[in-house]
Amino acid sequence: MNFRRFILSQSLIMMAGSMIFPFYVLLLRNVGESYTQFGWAYGLFALTSAVAYPVIGKSADQLGDQLLLVIYTWGMAVILLFFPLVTEVWQVYVLQIFMGLLGALQKNTEKTSLARHVRKERAGQQIGAYHTWTSVGAAIAIILTGYIVDFLTIGTIFYLASFIYVMSGIILLKKPEQAASQ
Amino acid sequence: MNKKVIVSFFIGYSLLFAGSIYKYEQKLLHPVAEDAGRLLPIAVKSIKQAEGEKQLQDIVRRANKTGDKLSIAGMQHSQGGHTYYPNGTVIDMKKYKKVLRFDPQQRTITVQSGATWDDIQQYINPYGLAVKVMQSQNIFTIGGSLSVNVHGRDIRYGSLIDTVESFRLLTADGHIINVSREENEQLFSLVIGGYGLFGIILDVTLTLAKDELYEKNTRMIDYKEYTSYFKEVANNPEVKMHLARISVAPDTYLKEMYVTDWTLAADQSGLAAHSPLKEDRIVAAPKMLLGLSRYSDWGKNKFWELQRVYMERGNGELETRNNVMRSETAFMEYENGSRTEVLQEYFVPVNEFMDYIDDLRTVLEKEEGFNLLNITIRYVEKDEQAVLSYAKEDMFAFVLLINQGRSSQEIDQTERVIRKMVDVTLDHKGSYYLPYYAYPSMEQLHTAYPRSQEFFRMKRKYDPAERFINLFYEEYGK
């Protein structure tokens, strides 16, 4: 049950991430309008992640995966509220730095959670199941977004994704009680 | 995680959510309009897609009640804010693009004004017909092309206005009228080259030419030979289209020229085989070299040399008229946040060519920071039908591509050089083209266009409330 909740919340994260990704690229392109700036936006993301990993790694052991994942989901939920408002390239850079931080948080914690949840002898099967469900989430999101984008503005997609991130956080928070009842 | 933290997150999040949506709606309410020049981004009230005649009439009539200002936009490749106005409504014509009537026997076609030349070419090519006069590229709308009174590579069919039989105009008072040489004839010469100031062109009837097979030949000549070379070309009825380039590379600056002629092929039997329309493709080498020439003299020299190789390889190549009139544009696309590429176009009488180039060189050699990337030369026949006519005699038209920064300082710098170039042009009894950024001074406008004051007076006669308005009118017309 515990692991299921983790998978569910991660699937939601993948859904939300896949929903916004194509529009996120469009947004970067509209605001930046040069491939150099495009490169910088992604470069900043990767650089911030690189700097953040060592710190995040340590704090995952001290604070626990659950808290970090909740910080990630709600952090993303907040960040996404700013995206529809972006008009200048410096704003994209700032957002990319935050996204880099949060992205590192997610990647690292996803793996530490998996490492703590799975049993060594069944690791292959369990991680396989994890990827199956998160990919299903992503696929559903991408296909659905293709349909709804005709009816909604790009801004709405970001708001919807933000909301999904909040939901994902709530699911994670319920985890300890579930675990206790097991 | 304790409850207090969670509750305060939700309160904060809800506030942010509401705030963000509010801000976003504000942003949607005031879209920013910008044209291909990218020097004049301006917040407008709304951008409305043209859907049909009735809807357009409603927009105009409602604007007459509310006092809204209207601007008309096609592809927005004019660069001086001709398609929008601060806090006005932009009517985007791009989706208003049906072919209404087509008569292959009479060789006429009637299209809605948002149709592009490409739409027409796709439609008429199977019937062995072609456009008579248009720009070298086919991406522009018919309404926009009429409004800026374009010209192109063709040297036999006169000017665009000659190929227009009639059009329908939605006027400022919301009526729809026919305009031709016989009906409302005064508007015929005002609306064509009228920059959208007299109403919305709804649909246009154009006369067409037969599609033909041409043989393309390019060679290099010295600029001193060009005038006599061109006179030979003009006297040879077999040559149907003509285009020249003059070097902007430091080694051969304004001296070497490549001249290209499209001559009627002796054997027309290959027409069918060549008639499929070519599609725009990105040619990697020219794109890269154009990129390099933006940044360095070395790049400019290499780009000029490469064009020669590229063109000589194409010598003797057969191409249909329709295909000559759909030249590549993709490799010229330029995306940069802080810089942009603007156009200028100058018209100079054929006989003034050599002296003009010498004087232009003298001016430009002193302007080191001025990044001139390309000059093409076309021919325009004398045509004074349009009130704002640029072809006061048989002229050569010089199209200049300039790379410049977008800051106000850099705009001033470009303005200074451009005003000097316009002065040189006017000294040689020339004129300049109006769809570009408002660099030239009011005085220069009056010299280049002696009837400009009459033009703006007529604008106020036909549209006393100034319902149709744009930044071009704001700058020069008021």
Q: Which residue of B has its CA nearest to A63?
A: B1
Segment B436-459 shows an average pLDDT of 96
Question: Looking at the domain assignment, is residue A68 inside a domain?
Answer: yes
* Residues of chain A contacting residue B13, judged by C-beta atoms under 8 Å apart: 74, 77-78, 166
Provide the ipTM: 0.83
CB contact under 8 A, A34 and B335: yes
Q: Which residue of A has its CA nearest to B10?
A: A166
Residue B186: pLDDT band with limits 50, 70, 90 = very high
Taking only the tens place, the pLDDT of each residue in B375-390 is: 999 999 999 999 999 9
Residue B233: pLDDT band with limits 50, 70, 90 = very high
Query: What is the rounded distance in angstroms from the CA atom of residue B463 to the CA atom of residue B477?
Result: 13
The minimum CA-CA distance between A167 and chain B, rounded to whole Å, is 11
Taking only the tens place, the pLDDT of each residue in A105-130 is: 999 999 998 888 888 898 899 899 88
Question: Looking at the domain assignment, is residue A46 inside a domain?
Answer: yes
The minimum CA-CA distance between B295 and chain A, rounded to whole Å, is 15
Residue A180: pLDDT band with limits 50, 70, 90 = very low
Query: What is the rounded distance in angstroms from the CA atom of residue A69 to the CA atom of residue A109?
Result: 7
CB contact under 8 A, A77 and B23: no
Query: What is the rounded distance in angstroms from the CA atom of residue B253 to the CA atom of residue B246?
Result: 8
Looking at the predicted structure, is the pLDDT value of residue B460 above 80? yes
Q: Which of B153, B199, B151, B147 is nearest to B173 (CA)?
A: B199
Residue A182, pLDDT score: 37
CB contact under 8 A, A81 and B17: yes
Least confident among A21-25, B8-12, B351-355, B440-444: A21-25
Residue B273, pLDDT score: 95
The minimum CA-CA distance between A126 and chain B, rounded to whole Å, is 28
Looking at the predicted structure, is the pLDDT value of residue B228 above 50? yes
B interface residues, A as partner, C-beta within 8 Å: 1, 6, 9, 13, 16-17, 19-21, 23-24, 27-28, 335-337
Rg (CA), chain B: 24
The minimum CA-CA distance between A121 and chain B, rounded to whole Å, is 32
Residue B331, pLDDT score: 65
Looking at the predicted structure, is the pLDDT value of residue A176 above 70? no
The minimum CA-CA distance between A124 and chain B, rounded to whole Å, is 32
- The minimal CB distance from A82 to the residues B20, B21, B27 is found for B20
* Residues of chain A contacting residue B337, judged by C-beta atoms under 8 Å apart: 32-34, 37, 89
Looking at the predicted structure, is the pLDDT value of residue B330 above 70? no
- The minimal CB distance from A77 to the residues B1, B13, B337 is found for B13
- Burial track B56-92 (b if 16+ CB lie within 10 A, e otherwise): bbebbeebeeeebbbbbbbbbbbbbbbbbbeebbbbb
- The minimal CB distance from A33 to the residues B6, B24, B336 is found for B336
Query: What is the rounded distance in angstroms from the CA atom of residue A24 to the CA atom of residue A145?
Result: 13
B3, B17, B403: best to mutate for the A interface, most A CBs within 10 A: B17
The minimum CA-CA distance between A78 and chain B, rounded to whole Å, is 7
The minimum CA-CA distance between A82 and chain B, rounded to whole Å, is 7
Regarding beta strands B256-264 and B99-103, do their DSSP bridges make them parallel or antiparallel, or are they unpaired?
A: unpaired
CB contact under 8 A, A159 and B21: yes
Please give the angle made by the CA atoms of B210, B212 and B218, to the nearest 5 degrees.
Answer: 135
Query: What is the rounded distance in angstroms from the CA atom of residue B133 to the CA atom of residue B428?
Result: 26
Residue A34: pLDDT band with limits 50, 70, 90 = low
Question: Looking at the domain assignment, is residue A182 inside a domain?
Answer: no
Average pLDDT, chain B: 93
Taking only the tens place, the pLDDT of each residue in A50-79 is: 999 999 988 888 888 888 999 999 999 999
Segment B463-476 shows an average pLDDT of 96
Least confident among A36-45, B3-12, B188-197, B255-264: A36-45
Identify any residues that bridge with B177 across adjacent strands, giving them in sequence order. Answer: B169
Residue A181, pLDDT score: 39
A interface residues, B as partner, C-beta within 8 Å: 32-37, 67, 70, 74, 77-78, 81-82, 84-85, 87, 89, 153, 155, 159, 162, 166, 173
Query: What is the rounded distance in angstroms from the CA atom of residue B305 to the CA atom of residue B132?
Result: 32
Residue B283: pLDDT band with limits 50, 70, 90 = low
Segment A130-138 shows an average pLDDT of 89
Taking only the tens place, the pLDDT of each residue in B114-164 is: 999 999 999 999 999 999 999 988 999 999 999 999 999 999 998 899 999
Taking only the tens place, the pLDDT of each residue in B391-426 is: 999 999 999 999 998 888 999 999 999 999 999 999
Taking only the tens place, the pLDDT of each residue in B337-372 is: 678 889 999 999 999 999 999 999 999 999 988 999
Residue A9: pLDDT band with limits 50, 70, 90 = confident
Count CA atoms closer than 13 A to B224's CA, side-chain side. Answer: 0
Domain that holds residue A135: 2-175
Higher pLDDT, A34 or B188: B188
Question: Looking at the domain assignment, is residue A21 inside a domain?
Answer: yes
Residue B282, pLDDT score: 61
What sign does the dihedral B98-B102-B104-B108 (CA atoms) show? Answer: negative
Directed axis angle between helix A65-82 and helix B3-29, to 10°?
20
Residue B55, pLDDT score: 96
Q: Which residue has the tokens 């249909």?
A: B320
Segment B454-466 shows an average pLDDT of 97
Q: Which residue of A has its CA nearest to B17?
A: A81
Q: DSSP class of residue B240?
A: E
CATH number for the domain running over B99-210: 3.30.465.10
Looking at the predicted structure, is the pLDDT value of residue B287 above 90? no
Backbone angles phi, psi at B88, to 5 degrees: -95, 180
Q: Which residue of B has its CA nearest to A78?
A: B13
Beta strands per DSSP E along B22-175? 32-33, 42-43, 46-49, 70-73, 89-92, 99-103, 108-112, 129-131, 164-170
Looking at the predicted structure, is the pLDDT value of residue A10 above 80? yes
Average pLDDT, chain A: 84
CB contact under 8 A, B335 and A173: no
Instruction: For the domain made up of B213-442, give the CATH fold.
Output: Alpha-Beta Plaits (3.30.70)
Residue B406, pLDDT score: 85
Residue B33, pLDDT score: 81
Higher pLDDT, A41 or B323: B323
Higher pLDDT, A29 or B9: B9
- Burial track B373-384 (b if 16+ CB lie within 10 A, e otherwise): bbbbbbbbbebe
CB contact under 8 A, B24 and A85: yes
Residue B336: pLDDT band with limits 50, 70, 90 = low
Per the structure, how many domains does chain A have?
1
* Residues of chain A contacting residue B6, judged by C-beta atoms under 8 Å apart: 173
CB contact under 8 A, B337 and A34: yes
Which tokens sit at A53?
């990993």
Residue B419, pLDDT score: 97
Taking only the tens place, the pLDDT of each residue in B41-79 is: 888 888 999 999 999 999 999 999 999 999 999 999 999
A24: CATH:
1.20.1250.20
